Structure 1
Amino acid sequence: MKGTVTEEILNRSIAEPVPLGSYSPSDVIFLLKDLSDVSLERATDEREAAIQSGVHYSEMLPVEYQPTEQYIELFHETLEQSAEKVALAVAVVSEMIVAQRGLDTMLVSLARAGTPIGVLIKRYIQERYGADLPHYSISIIRGKGIDENAILYILQKHGLDADLQFVDGWTGKGAIRQVLIEACNSLYEKYGIRLNDDLAVLADPGNCSGTFGTREDYLIPSACLNSTVSGLMSRTVLRDDLIGPEEFHGAKFYKEWLDTDVSNVFIAAICPYFSSVAEEAQAIAEQMQQSPPEITWQGLRDIQSIQEVFGIDNINLVKPGVGETTRVLLRRVPWKILVDTMDNPNLRHIILLAEDRGVPVEVFPGLTYSCCGIIKPLRGETE
């Protein structure tokens, strides 16, 4: 690396992180600017129209869905039923990370769906291997890239040769995976920094990651809710009038919902299973190491066939997988929901949300995913 570039990175003046979120700082440090006092929320219909007319989704926030009592009950019930299954997936992806990268790795989760998964991976590796891996949560935005200041901050703190393992919750059609690949290429061209663009996820139904816990498209309980299961943090925001050249991307910390926060409840429900699943997870990870899973991007081909059937020009209106479909129902204007079968037990919360919002649900046989959410087409670009 050229000395001048090295000096530029080390001498870049980047704002220090401030305490954010409802997780313990020992679990994660958010490299985000606090925008809690800024009014950024827009009503769902208004936001949808703005996005589809060309306003970038990162310039505003959705009004956070306030779940019904029945829906919260479903979250707790799902968490209880799936805790061991989630723990196994966490253990598998953690064992993969350790086998591939060792114990001198920085966990860098992509806010916000990646954050709870990053916390779980950190906890598992700490319990299993006694290693306390640094864990940061940073912003990545489709169409705008990764938060460069956050990356440079980590390299300033841990050295230019620090090994960063990016973490997210799940894959949909692989858009964020593609953004990450492009971002790592850009950082190399700009600074000579070569980062590993591998994205570790809990679930990879899109078949676009090589480091995952499972490829089953099932309900990860953290996908059920928004900020109240993600450390009370909003989606990330990037707007020139709010974010300076030496600041991190922004987000809001919803302190007012501390009484209903289940972020640490989610973590506490999964961790007790780590010791009982560790041996099975190690065996699965070893098998995956010996026969690396093929990255086929099959999920993306599914989306293209859905586009053809329903005459949808804009691929961004199609949101595949349980996690993405949940997001469509929580904060977008849905047109319809496609499911592989109506009696899929992973879809109870999807059916409940669809009924609540009056959205039709249709069976679409042969899906790689359990379900797919389609946003109502208005016009223009979308999230």
Structure 2
Amino acid sequence: MLALSVASASLPVVGKHLEPFGAMAAMGVWGFRHLPEFVTASAKSWVAPGNGDLRKAEREQTTAAAQAGLRGVVPATDLAIDWPAPDSMPPLWHTMEYRRDVYRTSVRYGDDPAQLLDVWRPENLPAQPAPVLLFVPGGAWVHGGRMLQGYALLSHLARQGWVCLSIDYRVAPHHRWPQHLSDVKAAIAWARANVDKFGGDRHFVAVAGCSAGGHLAALAGLTPNQPDLQGDLPDGSDTSVDAVIGIYGRYDWEDRSTEERARFVDFLERVVVGRTIDRHPEIYRQASPIAQVHPDAPPFLVVHGTGDSVIPVAQARSFVDRLKAVSRSAVGYIELPGAGHAFDMTDGARTGAMSTAIGLFLNHIHRNRAIDHTKAVI
């Protein structure tokens, strides 16, 4: 089905309209590999005796976990605030409220029809340019749509005076790797060159992402201006970023040490990359953020839940350990007890605190960058 859908999408005139069937087939392959484990883990969580009390206790630890993850990275005075109370409703319930902070929709950042972004910002900005966050949605590299993803975070930052850009990007199976990353870099380059038209500061652009978007955000942050990953961007395009936020991301494309990781690499081979890791190990190494960590990496904040059955928390821990051992920049890590995949769309008890924590981290990095710039000018 996957091969037929890809072939049919290349037909003239009608091919473009058949691309969604390829994405559906690809998502089916992903679901076949991950859904049974996800359902089993969820059922155990809800049915096992005493788990209701455990889930409640884990949610109550959210603010403490956020503060612990930022301690030593963000000043203690920044953490001494009134943190948001848990919300009994899932964040998706507040979609229309969040959408009020969208300033402009479907702005083109490239020539392809899929290269679109939404601009989130307050109606009135201060006179000085606002810091910028570019958000990369998830979707297992076969879905790259900006709808519904990251809304709580984008709304929170927009109300704090940030300009946020939420992007669409091209996905497998019709667009093989590294087209996903090339599109993210094209959006960063667009922001560096054009975000001032929306009140943003071209000299401070951070990137964040969830799940597959977390992988893309981390890899973009670690490979600035790398020629073989710039796609069709003109020479001199700036794809560097000033900070990275990875939220339940996948950071290793090489490791096949567990059954879950072996299934994941098989999915990459069949659907996303179209080449095997045994014959093309260099592709998978170059696509692994954990293998691209270097001393000049930008500041990182990684957020992951211990209850994630799609991307186990061990992957985040390994990535953070590697960052802390090598990078000269700040590295924060927030591990949320019991939180599952996509908690920021489904779990109101955690989402407010996470948006607040990410805002504190980004505001701190932005302040430090402004201070460094002032010193350099003087």
| TM-score, length-scaled by structure 1 | 0.28
| TM-score, length-scaled by structure 2 | 0.28
